[in-house]
Amino acid sequence: MKARVTVTLKTGVLDPQGKAIEGALKSLGIAGVGSVRQGKVFDIELDGADKAVAEEALKAACEKLLANTVIENYRVELQA
């Protein structure tokens, strides 16, 4: 089973990396860019076919390692 986990900063948390990218895009002349925020994505291949088990394992993975839940949100998507 394949899954994609997306980790993004919570609203209100400063994102200096995103700000830097925003500045770089503007100085490259890309028109119409407002704000940029950067996050991470993890493409995870899982053994087993049970969706509930997989979701549970991924949630544990996010809480323990992939996301800092103080400042980050995560979203788990299972892809068949």
Contact between 16 and its own copies by CB under 8 A: the answer reads: no
CA Rg value for the chain = 16
Number of residues that bind its own copies (CB under 8 A): 34
44 binds its own copies, rule: CB under 8 A: yes
CB of 58 to its own copies, least distance (A): 8
Q: How far apart are CA 66 and CA 80, in angstroms?
A: 21
Q: Is 3 helix (H, G, I), strand (E, B) or coil?
A: strand
- By C-alpha distance, which of 35, 34, 42, 41 is closest to 15? 35
Applying CB under 8 A, the residues found at the interface with its own copies are 6, 8, 18, 21, 24-25, 28, 30-48, 53-54, 57, 60-61, 64-66
